[in-house]
């Protein structure tokens, strides 16, 4: 029987890649239950018709009229708004891709986990700001949680079948982004257009900026700690410009296992889509002879303070990771709007962490409230910086 699939974030790069892999699979292997997008009605409607989705939802209520017109007479259930997104995530599906960017994807992730099945998690922010809730929802629903971030998927593959006590540490790699060799005075003048030009990966705007500041890697350290149950001192980050090694696991016997491949998100998506089996994927293979060399170096803490901030938030615990994530999302948005400097992103995050108490939120409502408070404080900090320029 065809496996039913829901894709939360179907019009983004992860969602499109997921659909492309499904389309290339054997006929009848998959069917689409629900597709969710933010407001890209044209792409969502085309996907829903082409692949016979049973439901199509836009998160932005103002786009509902356009969606209704585009899918009139198709017999596809429609929805709009945050509650409709959650309802789509809760529909019965064997496998769900959670690819809504940022904290906005938390409620739908929880809904999908609560009804069981397999959840492929591309939304690291859900684990960063609400790890206890996410893991509890997975346990209560009997859901299988599979990491799709290339680094965590790589570590997951290297850990298969091995006892946790045999693991000395995991190593996450980072390309270093487009500014890994730039002096600070030049980085202070970075524009959004420059920061969006990642040297290796093709990603959405928010993730591209996070990669340039290395906050993306900081969030991934927090995610790895939650996913794999490791303390911060057993999670290492190395800059690896070639982006051929995506993650490694060091074992107690001295063995170092690495997962390698071309820098293409279709590989971890394919692994999660077919798990526990493997599926064929038309992805360029890694040519080691052509690559010729693999470089690894420690990240520069002066150029990239975001990695330090994420580690400090992880060690502080409580609501600190929630504050970190919300402040970063706000600062990145302001940078993309050219209302904040590139180096000021980390500064605003640090000032927000210092300004707010990091007591542990006791449920989803408390997490949402803390998220809102952190965004408001980050905006205040950013506006204060702008006023002094």
Whether 35 is covered by a domain: the verdict is yes
Whether 371 is covered by a domain: the verdict is no
Whether 26 is covered by a domain: the verdict is yes
Whether 12 is covered by a domain: the verdict is yes
Helix (H, G, I), strand (E, B) or coil at 224: helix
Indicate the number of domains in the chain. 1
Q: How far is CA 360 from the centre of its chain?
A: 23
Whether 29 is covered by a domain: the verdict is yes
Secondary structure E strands in the chain: 3-8, 30-37, 55-58, 77-80, 95-98, 118-121, 144-147, 167-174, 235-239, 245-251, 256-260
Return mean pLDDT, the chain: 94
Cβ–Cβ < 8 Å for 43, 37: yes
Residue pLDDT, tens place only, 7-36: 999 999 999 999 999 999 988 899 999 999
Instruction: Give the other-Cβ count within 10 Å of 377's Cβ.
Output: 21
Label residue 232 by pLDDT band (50, 70, 90): very high
Give the pLDDT confidence score for residue 385 in this predicted structure: 85
Cβ–Cβ < 8 Å for 319, 361: yes
Which range marks the domain in which residue 121 is found? 3-147
Whether 140 is covered by a domain: the verdict is yes
Residue 260 bridge partners (DSSP): 245
Residue 103 has pLDDT above 90, yes or no: no
Q: What CATH code is carried by the domain that includes residue 30?
A: 3.40.50.720
Whether 104 is covered by a domain: the verdict is yes
């Amino acid at each position: 029987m065809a496996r039913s699939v829901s894709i939360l974030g179907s019009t983004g790069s992860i969602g499109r890649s997921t659909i492309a892999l499904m389309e290339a699979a054997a006929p009848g292997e998959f069917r689409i239950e629900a597709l969710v997008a933010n407001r890209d009605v044209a792409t969502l409607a085309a996907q829903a018709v082409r692949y016979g989705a049973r439901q199509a939802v836009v998160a932005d209520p103002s786009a509902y009229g356009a969606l209704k017109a585009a899918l009139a007479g198709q017999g596809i259930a429609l929805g709009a708004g945050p509650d409709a997104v959650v309802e789509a995530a809760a529909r019965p599906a064997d496998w769900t891709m959670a690819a809504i960017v940022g904290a906005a994807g938390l409620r739908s992730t929880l809904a999908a986990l609560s009804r069981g099945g397999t959840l492929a998690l591309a939304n690291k922010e859900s684990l960063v700001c609400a790890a206890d809730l996410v893991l509890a929802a997975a346990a209560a629903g009997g859901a299988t949680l599979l990491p799709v971030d290339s680094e965590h998927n790589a570590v997951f593959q290297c850990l298969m079948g091995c006892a946790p006590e045999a693991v000395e540490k995991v190593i996450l790699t980072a390309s270093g982004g487009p500014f890994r060799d730039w002096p600070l005075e030049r980085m202070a003048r970075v524009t959004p257009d420059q920061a969006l030009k990642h040297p290796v990966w093709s990603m959405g705007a928010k993730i591209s900026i996070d990669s340039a500041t290395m906050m993306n890697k900081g969030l991934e350290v927090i995610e790895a700690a939650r996913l794999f149950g490791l303390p911060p001192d057993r999670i290492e980050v190395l800059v690896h410009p070639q982006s051929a090694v995506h993650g490694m696991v060091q074992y107690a016997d001295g063995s170092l296992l690495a997962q390698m491949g071309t820098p293409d998100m279709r590989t971890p998506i394919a692994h999660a889509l077919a798990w526990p089996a493997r599926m064929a994927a038309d992805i360029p293979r890694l040519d080691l002879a052509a690559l010729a060399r693999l470089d690894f170096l420690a990240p520069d803490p002066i150029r990239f303070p975001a990695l330090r901030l994420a580690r400090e938030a992880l060690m502080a615990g409580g609501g600190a990771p929630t504050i970190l994530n919300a402040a970063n999302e706000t600062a990145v948005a302001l940078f993309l709007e050219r209302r904040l400097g590139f180096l000021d992103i980390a500064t605003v995050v640090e000032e927000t962490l210092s300004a707010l108490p990091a007591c542990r939120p006791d449920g989803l409502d408390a997490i949402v409230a803390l998220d809102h408070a952190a965004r408001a404080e980050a905006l205040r900090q950013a506006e204060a910086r702008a006023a002094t320029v």
